Amino acid sequence: MSAHAYCLRNGLLNLNLSNTLLTFYCECDKLSTAIDLFSMMRIRNVVSWNTLISCCVRHGNINIATEFLHQMQHDSVRFDLVTMISILPSYFERDELLEGMAVHGYAIKSGFSSDVSLTNALISMYAYCGDLYNCRVLFEGMPVRSVVSWNAILSGYRNYNLNQEVMVLFHRMIEEDQMPNSVTLLNIVPMCCSELQVKTIHAFAIRQGEMSELPLLTSLICTYASFENVHLCQLLFERADKRNVTLWNAMMSAHLRNQNAEHAVALLREMLLFDQKPDHITILTLISACVQIDSFSLIQSIMAYIICKGFEMDILIGNALIDMYTRCGYISVARKIFDGMIQKDIVSWSGMINGFAIHGDGKIALELFSQMKCSGLEPDDVTFISVLSACSHSGLVEEGRAVFNSMAEEYGIKPRMEHYACMVDLLGRTGHLSEAYELIKGLPFKPSESLLESLLGACGIHGDFEIAEKIGNLLFDQGPKNSGSYVMLSNVYAAAGRWVDASNVRSNMDDREVRKVPGFSTIEVDA
């Protein structure tokens, strides 16, 4: 900046020097200073515009980048290859396919369409905007493809979870003698459908010397964890030459995913010993570990650490804490955290409402629901599940009906299976069995086993054998594999003195080779 001041004082600031300074400020993440310098430049060329536009896109200031592009057009500055390559990522981030297609059209008209780098950028743009047809047409039409071309189309297919297409393209890439790099493998690993496939890619990465790449190592750990191979996860983690916070988080999540919460907590202690600073993902993982272990002393320790490091101000962590305390039975603490949150999103409100639903405080849950609507936030389908669950647990029939009806009438939300299940549970608990049965008959989709079992159980409690038999028939038409359905209907028949029917249900259960699984429970005993 002192050099900039010197040039200004001595009148040395020509176009080339201004562009050099502009590049310097952009590379140093001084976007506002770069914009100030750009606005003071009396003479600008396409390099000046390109430098600023690419800087804006790189820093996520897409609107500003687009404004500069339009201003560039207004000033009759002709786009070059760099301009188009720089602006295209802003369109697939904003999902503005038409503007991206306009750039594509300009490229064809200007004779740039055969450039490999521009075609790669266009493939990425079409892929991220969901136009996989044009993405594939461009790719297939390339006379020469670089590894970036392959990575662009693989990334596009991966984003839409097209596993088979990704694998076919990867094998074709190998057949066409295009050597994959770490980015290629990073696209492939999450798409593996079996542990054998992961091991094949893993072996390939070892042969190519790509295992020093931390993103690839992290992806392998996450994928092996999804196949419950924690041993290999641990082996990869221990043999890593260097570890960043993302790698630590991946290993902690691997333990947590496989019900090893104690190991995840132990990793935090090890992480701190290595002077590795936890981030909010680490904290979220630890909160999940607390729920799994359900240890009050651990919860207190984690909470103290969160407050000490200032993480409680993070809205995601606040939401996770609410969920943790409600699941572990500390609803009053969850409410204190909720009330202390400076910002609350729909997840915060839904989580707190669900907490009171779990604890049977339906009235408070409904009060919170009203407060949420008054705050200007519109409920989503998850919020309605929480509210309906609260009504069900507290037997609030009229309130439940009103909430359920308001979903479509006021908010245009189509009820899902979970919403109907809550209503059936509410009506079943409170003895409105005929209404619950009519609701099931009017379902726009096939009822789930759990929904039917809920009403069947309610029929048994309230002694309505007629509806119980109808629900039983609906259940058996689906060929249930859960022994609970058979046992409940058998018990209903037995309670009505219909012993032959009860025996037939048990025989039907045996014929379908459905076995009743013995129940068990665990308790924690202080040593």
Choose among 286, 211, 284, 279: nearest CA to 245: 279
Comparing 275 with 63, the larger pLDDT belongs to 275
pLDDT digits (tens, 9 = 90+) for 134-152: 989 999 998 889 999 999 9
Kindly list the domain boundaries of the chain, sorted by start residue.
344-415, 443-519
pLDDT reported for residue 210? 84
Return the minimum-mean-pLDDT range out of 183-187, 201-205, 343-347, 507-511.
507-511
Q: With 90 as the cut, is the pLDDT of residue 17 above it?
A: no
Residue in the block written with tokens 């999103």:
345
**Percentage, residues of the chain above pLDDT 90:** 32
User: Picking from 230-244, 394-408, 453-467, which range would have the lowest pLDDT averaged per residue?
Assistant: 453-467
Between 138 and 481, the more confident residue is: 138
- pLDDT-derived band of residue 251, with 50, 70 and 90 as boundaries? very high
Higher pLDDT, 97 or 30: 97
Least confident of 411-425, 442-456, 489-503: 489-503
Q: Terminal CA-to-CA distance of the chain, rounded, Å?
A: 66
Distance CA 79, CA 50 (A): 9
Tokens read off for 139: 């790719």
Does residue 366 have a pLDDT over 60? yes
d(CA 463, CA 491): 11
Q: Which of 213, 209, 257, 210 is nearest to 233 (CA)?
A: 257
Nearest CA-CA partner of 337 in 373, 307, 294, 365: 307
Average pLDDT over residues 66-75: 80
d(CA 271, CA 527): 29
- Here the tokens at position 115 are 């450039």
Q: What is the DSSP string of 408-446?
A: HHHH-PPP-HHHHHHHHHHHHHTT-HHHHHHHHHT-SSP
Residue-wise pLDDT tens digits, 298-319: 888 888 888 888 887 889 999 9
Range scoring the smallest mean pLDDT among 42-51, 353-362, 498-507: 498-507
Read off the pTM: 0.73
Question: According to the model, what pLDDT value does residue 481 have?
Answer: 58
Q: What is the mean pLDDT of residues 462-484?
A: 74
pLDDT at residue 232, rounded to an integer: 93
What's the distance, CA 416 to chain centroid? 20
